[in-house]
């Protein structure tokens, strides 16, 4: 018999979103076995490809990945030989990030695999609910990104 707290937990969007993320992350790792790439790293590579020479600050803005995590992701991608970064001429404190040839190749390999993973994730829902689900997720992200995250006193 479920306790009240267990029932509450299973109705918590925070808990369920976290569990969904863990499950999707495992599906991604199994489906995209390309250079040990993570979903975040793939998002960064895709964004760099679309905006060659983008600054890390702009990568943060475009992907929603926080600044310190982005710095770590870029360093890891650089160690893998997938990106290069150089100080910008406009601001010596900022880095411009570009894909290497190997980064482009990894992206070409990983993108179709990631689309297949996306399809697998969405296919757990009936076709008519998939668009609604994606719209709901996008709505949650937009609304909560605007929320002041300063701690309450």
CATH of the domain at 139: 1.10.10.10
Other beta carbons within 10 Å of 62: 16
**In the predicted model, what is the mean pLDDT of residues 65-82?**
95
Residue 30 predicted with pLDDT over 80: yes
Residue 8 lies in a domain: no
Measured distance CA(25)–CA(147) in Å, rounded = 26
Residue 136 lies in a domain: yes
Phi, psi of 84 (to 5 degrees): -125, 150
Q: What is the pLDDT of residue 10?
A: 84
In a domain, 153, yes or no: no
The CA-based angle 101-61-74, given to 5 degrees, is: 35
* Secondary structure tally for the chain: helices H, strands E: 7, 3
Is residue 5 included in any domain, yes or no? no
Question: Is pLDDT above 80 for 98?
Answer: yes
* Res. 150: pLDDT tops 70: no
Token pair of 59, please?
A: 């990568």
Domain count, the chain: 1
SS3 content of the chain, % helix, strand, coil (to 5): 65, 10, 25
In a domain? residue 152: no
Any domain includes 40: yes
| Residue range of the domain that includes 134 | 14-146
Is residue 4 one of the residues assigned to a domain? no
d(CA 65, CA 138): 15
pTM here is: 0.83
């Amino acid at each position: 018999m479920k306790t009240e707290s267990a029932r509450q937990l299973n109705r918590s969007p925070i808990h369920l979103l976290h569990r969904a993320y863990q499950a999707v992350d495992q599906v991604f790792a199994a489906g995209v076995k390309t250079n040990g790439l993570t979903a975040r790293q793939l998002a960064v590579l895709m964004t760099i490809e679309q905006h060659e020479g983008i600054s890390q600050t702009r990568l943060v803005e475009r992907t929603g990945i926080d600044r310190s995590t982005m710095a770590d992701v870029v360093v890891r991608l650089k160690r893998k030989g997938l990106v290069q970064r150089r100080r910008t001429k406009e601001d010596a404190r900022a880095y411009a990030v570009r894909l290497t040839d190997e980064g482009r190749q990894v992206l070409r390999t990983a993108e179709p695999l990631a689309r297949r993973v996306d399809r697998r994730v969405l296919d757990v829902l009936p076709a008519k609910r998939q668009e609604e689900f994606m719209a709901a997720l996008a709505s949650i992200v937009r609304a909560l990104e605007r929320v002041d995250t300063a701690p309450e006193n």
